[in-house]
Amino acid sequence: MATPQRNGPLSPPHRRSRLAALLLQRCPRCREGRLFKGLLVMNDPCPVCGLVIQREEGYFLGALYFSYGMSIGFLLPLFFLFKWLLPTWPDLLVAVLPVLVYVPFTPLVYRYARVLWIYFDRSILAGESRHGPASRPGGPS
């Protein structure tokens, strides 16, 4: 008996939950393909199911909102913690400390902002035409 193809109508059930796939930075359609092939370089399309991730130029502009939210959620509590721990230090110096702590986490925030945007976009705006590989603008139709 032949196994069905991943992107066919008889695709096998997903092995991971949506949350696990998001946390592991996997494709939102097949939940197996890695979204990133390097620290900051994305796979496009998905190496497993062929889903085109960046459908158009500027697609990841929405990820900036997730990045901003994650950054504020990280920096603001650290600022108040340092302000409480170091009450005699000038405010400007206290504000620099959380930034120094945050800098090593920027690649992680970048990656998860993009992953969250992809999952948000696919869950809110997903139509039948969004599930298949789409051609890029300017490319062959």
Confidence of residue 71 (pLDDT cuts 50, 70, 90): very high
H helices of 12-130, where?
A: 18-23, 63-85, 91-102, 106-124
Contact at 8 Å (CB) between 108 and 14?
no
**Bridge partners (DSSP) listed for residue 26:** 34
CA dist., res. 29 & res. 19, Å (int):
13
Contacts of 122 (CB under 8 A, 6+ apart): 28, 29, 130
pTM beyond 0.85: no
Question: Which range (17-26, 49-58, 82-91) has the least confidence?
Answer: 49-58
Q: Average of pLDDT values for 117-135?
A: 65
Q: Which tens digits make up the pLDDT trace of 97-117?
A: 999 999 999 999 999 999 999
CA dihedral 9, 13, 16, 22 (to 10 degrees): 20
How far is 110 from 112, CA to CA, in rounded Å? 6
Distance separating alpha carbons of residues 49 and 6, to the nearest angstrom: 6
